[in-house]
Amino acid sequence: MATLITTDRRLLAHDPGQGHPESPARLAAVLADLERAPPAGVVLEAPRPATEAEIEAVHSRPYRTSLQALAGRRARLDQDTAMSEGSWDAACLAAGAAVGAVEGVWSGRVQNAFALVRPPGHHAEPARAMGFCLLNNAAIAAEAARRAGAARVLILDWDVHHGNGTQNIFAARPDVLYASVHQYPFYPGTGANDEVGSGAGKGFTVNCGLPGGQDDADYGVVFHDLLLPAARAFAPDLVIVSAGFDPHERDPLADMQVTDRGFAAMCSAVAELADGACGGKLVLLLEGGYDLEALATSVRACLEVLGGRRESFPSGAGTVAPRAVAATRAALQAAKRPLPAS
Ligand SMILES: [Zn+2]
């Protein structure tokens, strides 16, 4: 079965301004690379815009209408988040591409999918734009999956920044597990290892904050000893990945040392998890990643994995990642949701 890519050149119409790292050149670089050498077994599909109901499953109506009212204009929403004339349409298409990827995978029409979208989404809160993000694409996709019949949805977030928006949206819910590995302390400030969710959702948020400098082997420890055991215990019906490529060693915004191989290994780990838990139902959504060349090569590496290639993590982790994993495990234990051994 094929891999679906949902994307659209209309997403390039969102332009937060000259010199902004989240520039249209990011997606343009990915699309140019795919056009130069189209990966085998891939179907491309243009998205429809997300509907009002799909957006309002996550965002408040006043927030949606306030963004919509800015369509066709330039506006600054916070210190680093801005809209251009085409931003509202692009944001609706990005969210729609995320929903379309879920629909393709959930229906069984394709094996897995990658929504190549921008603006990114994981910092967007129910009623606030933040951190380059307007609509929370991953949360909108997870809600669409829930409505389509998925009882439990895993959102695994490997963007180098913590997905504060996604975490908050699902913090009190046991039906969507949010699991993140990210640089910490770092923007946006959330994502400490003892943030494990609240109320009925206690234990259904898993955070692994790491200081900068961690490499492929360190990420391997986090996946094998924390994220994968947590995911398997949750037994998701669908896996969504907030796939940011800013942990890359070449990324200008952060300090991690992940390589293309590391992203292929992370993608292989989630593909194998999805194979075991839910018939391989896996959707990747593009979040950050600000080095154009690293973004294109890492996206390609993940597409190869979606097509069946497998990559492993190298060995040789330091001591920092195991300590972070132990801290998160202790926090989950204290929340009475202990994890099985890896
Ligand atoms: Zn990021």
How far, in Å, from the CA of 185 to the mean position of ligand 1?
13
Alpha-carbon distances of 226 from 42, 182, 262, 263, rounded to whole Å: 31, 13, 16, 17
Tokens of 68: 């919509």
Cis peptide before 185 (omega within 30 of 0): yes
Band (7; pLDDT cuts 50, 70, 90): very high
Query: Can you give the pLDDT at residue 20?
Result: 97
Query: Can you give the pLDDT at residue 341?
Result: 82
With a CB cutoff of 8 Å and minimum separation 6, the contacts of 164 are 122, 123, 125, 130, 131, 188, 189, 190, 191
- What SS3 class is residue 267? helix
How far, in Å, from the CA of 247 to the mean position of ligand 1?
8
In tens, the pLDDT along 269-297 reads: 999 999 999 999 999 999 999 999 999 99
Q: What pTM does this model have?
A: 0.99
With a CB cutoff of 8 Å and minimum separation 6, the contacts of 270 are 156, 231, 239, 241, 282
In tens, the pLDDT along 128-160 reads: 999 999 999 999 999 999 999 999 999 999 999
Is 224 considered catalytic here?
no
Q: Which of the following is catalytic: 123, 161, 162, 182?
A: 123
Band (342; pLDDT cuts 50, 70, 90): confident
How far, in Å, from the CA of 58 to the mean position of ligand 1?
20
Residue type, 138: A
